């Protein structure tokens, strides 16, 4: 099969001992959604193997990795009030990163071209040394799963890697890690950082040195719906077509789904389906590997199946779409959409859109 879901019960071992939204139940909700929307029969599950620590040291500084390893020995404990380390956390981390690396090996052996790894804990807020870009906490993330995969692909000789992050929060760790790296195009869709953790990721943040223009922050006002996502997806596609990535990686978070719980966006299943289907239709990528980030309730139940259906090349089985109010749409166009286009047009040919 072209598509494989990478999962192991080890991913349930990262488990809080107090009430916390990032808990093993999340993956059960996701599987319930796959069943509810009739996708189970289409899906082959691939068992991951653990990564070794060397892949992590490639991205994160030695002192921080050693610190986390020591915390693992003293679990249960926490890195900060948002980010816990349970007895099974380290094992879950190694199998999550191992799952991403295995997806790539599987592709190289001709056994699939589209993969979604149900990584836990999530990773996109983790910078080189933990907290990224002055964030107050690590936001449930310990090591940056998708960045570790991207670093591995750079070592394998890839020169054009695109990371599409549609989690509702800014992927500040990923942005920090690759800020000076022109071979990584990072397009991040997120709620306006003035209204949501971690408070970073503005359209003016474009990368530095030779990498300038390769960091793209597309932000949404609160209560924005699928129509706003469609507008920015067009811009993302315009940039992607010019960058010509050899591989598409996703930081796949589903917390922008209407009423998912931790944010204020109104995305429906349509957005998550388009994030896969439009990219496949218009770019025809050779390889796609997605890593799970956020999503805490309905986003996992409905958004994740819609995204997976997109990866499978079938229609959105959920069929939910939400339109922004006229007031929100008006604000978006005047204050965000057109100014962002102007900024990006300095580096990409946007106006031909």
Please give the positions annotated as active site: 125
Q: How many residues bind Zn ion (CB under 5 A)?
A: 5
233-262: which residues touch Zn ion (CB under 5 A)?
Answer: 253, 255
Dihedral in degrees, nearest 10, Cα atoms 330, 199, 169, 191: 0
3-state secondary structure 320-335: CCCCCCHHHHHHHHHH
Binding segment toward Zn ion, per CB under 5 A, in 7-15, 50-58, 80-88, 159-167:
159-167
Shortest Å distance, C-beta 293 to Zn ion: 6
Beta bridge mates, 191: 220
Q: Is 50 or 173 the residue whose CB approaches Zn ion more closely?
A: 173
What is the smallest separation between the CB atom of 168 and Zn ion, expressed in angstroms?
5
Q: In whole angstroms, how close is the CB of 233 to Zn ion at the nearest point?
A: 18
Work out how close the CB of 210 gets to Zn ion at its nearest, in angstroms, rounded to a whole number: 29
Residue with smaller CB distance to Zn ion, 112 or 121: 121
Q: Are the C-beta atoms of residues 23 and 73 closer than 8 Å to each other?
A: no
Name which of 6 and 141 has its Cβ closer to Zn ion: 141
Inter-residue contact 264 to 195 (CB < 8 Å): yes
Closest distance between Zn ion and the C-beta of residue 290, in Å? 15
- Report the residue from 169, 170, 223, 273 that binds Zn ion according to the rule CB under 5 A: 169
- 112 contacts Zn ion (rule: CB under 5 A): no
CA–CA distance, 72 with 90 (Å, rounded to integer)? 6
Q: Which tokens is 197 given?
A: 């953790």
CA-CA distance, 239 to 198, in Å (whole number)? 25
Taking the C-alpha atoms of residue 64 and residue 76, their distance in angstroms, rounded to an integer, is 18
Which region, judged by CB under 5 A, interacts with Zn ion, from 68-76, 171-179, 294-302, 332-340?
294-302
Cα of first residue to Cα of last residue in the chain, in angstroms, is: 35
One residue of 15, 82, 165, 167 binding Zn ion per CB under 5 A: 167
Pattern 28-47, Zn ion, x by CB under 5 A:
--------------------
CA–CA separation, 210 and 232 (whole Å)? 24
Dihedral angle at the C-alpha atoms of 19, 22, 24, 27, nearest 10 degrees? Answer: 140
Which residues here bind Zn ion, judged by CB under 5 A?
Answer: 167, 169, 253, 255, 294
């Amino acid at each position: 099969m072209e598509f494989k879901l990478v999962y192991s019960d080890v991913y349930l071992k990262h488990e809080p001992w107090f009430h916390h939204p990032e808990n093993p139940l999340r993956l059960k909700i996701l599987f319930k959604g796959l069943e509810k929307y009739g996708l189970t029969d289409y899906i082959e599950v691939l068992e991951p193997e653990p990564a070794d620590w060397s892949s992590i040291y490639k991205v994160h500084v030695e002192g921080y990795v050693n610190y986390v390893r020591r915390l693992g020995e003293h679990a249960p404990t926490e890195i900060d009030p948002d980010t816990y380390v349970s007895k099974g956390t380290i094992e879950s981390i190694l199998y999550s990163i191992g799952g991403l690396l295995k997806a790539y090996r599987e592709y190289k052996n001709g056994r699939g071209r589209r993969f979604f790894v149900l990584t836990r804990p999530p990773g996109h807020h983790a910078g080189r040394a933990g907290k990224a870009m002055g964030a107050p906490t690590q936001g449930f993330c310990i090591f940056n799963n998708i960045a570790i995969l991207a670093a591995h692909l750079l070592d394998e000789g890839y020169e054009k890697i695109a990371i599409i992050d549609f989690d509702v929060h800014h992927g500040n760790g990923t942005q920090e890690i690759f800020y000076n790296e022109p071979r990584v195009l990072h397009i991040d869709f997120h709620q306006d950082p003035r209204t949501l953790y971690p408070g970073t990721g503005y359209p003016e943040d474009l990368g530095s040195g030779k990498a300038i223009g390769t960091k793209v922050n597309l932000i949404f006002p609160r209560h924005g719906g699928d129509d706003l996502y469609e507008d920015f997806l067009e811009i993302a596609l315009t940039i992607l077509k010019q960058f010509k990535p050899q591989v598409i990686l996703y930081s796949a978070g589903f917390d922008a789904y209407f009423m998912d719980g931790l944010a204020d966006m109104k995305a429906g299943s349509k957005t998550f389906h388009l994030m896969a289907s439009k990219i496949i239709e218009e770019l025809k990528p050779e390889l796609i590997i997605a890593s799970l980030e956020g999503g805490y309730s309905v986003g996992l139940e409905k958004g994740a199946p819609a995204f997976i259906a997109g990866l499978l090349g079938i229609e959105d089985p959920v069929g939910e779409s939400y339109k922004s109010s006229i007031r929100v749409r008006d604000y978006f166009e005047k204050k965000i959409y057109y100014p962002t286009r102007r900024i990006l047009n300095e580096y990409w040919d946007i106006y031909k859109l």
